[in-house]
Amino acid sequence: MESTDFTMIKPLNNKRTFEGVSDRLKELIFDGTFKPGQSLPSEHALAQSFQVGRQSIREALRVLEISGFITVRPGTGGGSVIEGTMLSKMAGMFLDTFKLHKVSLMDCMAARKIIEVSILDLVLENFDESDIEKLRENIRCARAHLSSGESTFEDNIEFHRILARSSKNDTFCIVIEALLAVYAEVRSKMTVTSKIINKKVLRIIDNHERLVEAIEARQNQVAIELLRDDLSFSEELVLSSAK
């Protein structure tokens, strides 16, 4: 300790070093200094800029990585690339929360039913032709996969994603993404004989198609009933397999 008074150049923040770094980097991403697609400086460069050790930088990057702000790749030209969306990480964390809190599947499916039906109201108010086209494309895709013997699981998930987007409300998109993650996790663990599932899958796709028609024709009540059917069917499927 020399006599010169080092009146707190850093200790004024009670945060840990890596927290200060990750918070600062978050700010810079939020305010657009670093844009999606761009890369953050290398760990070494960041350590020099922030005047901290590389370990602190790494822990800060770890925070940003699992929060979904960046993806990190090794090697030349690699580094920390700023992501444009946090949706998948967000949904993943939602899933972890469900597991830790041991939320019942029944609760989750019930909530999903209620929320999706609510969303449908918004969809019926706000949809446009391109939404209908995306939904139809999804159905075509699902039929193609079905006939070639591939799984239509992802298509069915995507259908509900597109439906949520058609509401033109981003909040619902995020919420549905999270709920779908739970659904996807459960379904992915289901072992089903393809014979039985084939008939069921066809029913789901046909149901989706009728739903799209009802939406386009603005037959609100019909659409709501069809969506309820669809979700009840998924509910049954999941709850029965989960014993």
Partner DNA sequence: TCACATTTGTCCGTATGTATC
Partner DNA sequence: AGATACATACGGACAAATGTG
Residues at the contact surface with DNA, assessed by CB under 7 A: 16-18, 40, 42-44, 47, 51-56, 58-59, 61, 72-80
For the bound state, the minimum distance from the C-beta of residue 63 to DNA, rounded and expressed in Å, comes to 11
**Residue 52 interacting entry, from DNA, its own copies, none, C-beta within 5 to 8 Å by type:** DNA
Q: Nearer to DNA by C-beta: 65 or 209?
A: 65
For the bound state, the minimum distance from the C-beta of residue 209 to its own copies, rounded and expressed in Å, comes to 26
Residues at the contact surface with its own copies, assessed by CB under 8 A: 18, 26, 29-30, 55, 58-59, 62-63, 66-69, 85-87, 89-90, 93-94, 96-101, 103-104, 107-108, 110-112, 114-115, 118, 121-122, 169-172, 174-175, 178-179
**Residue 53 interacting entry, from DNA, its own copies, none, C-beta within 5 to 8 Å by type:** DNA
For the bound state, the minimum distance from the C-beta of residue 150 to DNA, rounded and expressed in Å, comes to 28
**Residue 79 interacting entry, from DNA, its own copies, none, C-beta within 5 to 8 Å by type:** DNA
Torsion, Cα 78 84 90 91, to 10 degrees, reads -100
Total residue length of the chain:
243
**Residue 115 interacting entry, from its own copies, DNA, none, C-beta within 5 to 8 Å by type:** its own copies
| Amino acid symbol at 171 | T
For the bound state, the minimum distance from the C-beta of residue 3 to its own copies, rounded and expressed in Å, comes to 30
For the bound state, the minimum distance from the C-beta of residue 39 to DNA, rounded and expressed in Å, comes to 8
Radius of gyration, CA atoms only, the chain: 24
> HSE of 72 in the Cβ direction (CA atoms, 13 Å)?
15
Q: Nearer to DNA by C-beta: 25 or 123?
A: 25
Residue 211: name the closest of 195, 200, 225 by CA. Answer: 225
Q: Nearer to DNA by C-beta: 45 or 103?
A: 45
**Residue 81 interacting entry, from its own copies, DNA, none, C-beta within 5 to 8 Å by type:** none
Tokens of 131: 């939404």
Q: Nearer to DNA by C-beta: 29 or 47?
A: 47
**Residue 43 interacting entry, from DNA, its own copies, none, C-beta within 5 to 8 Å by type:** DNA
72: number of Cβ within 10 Å: 15
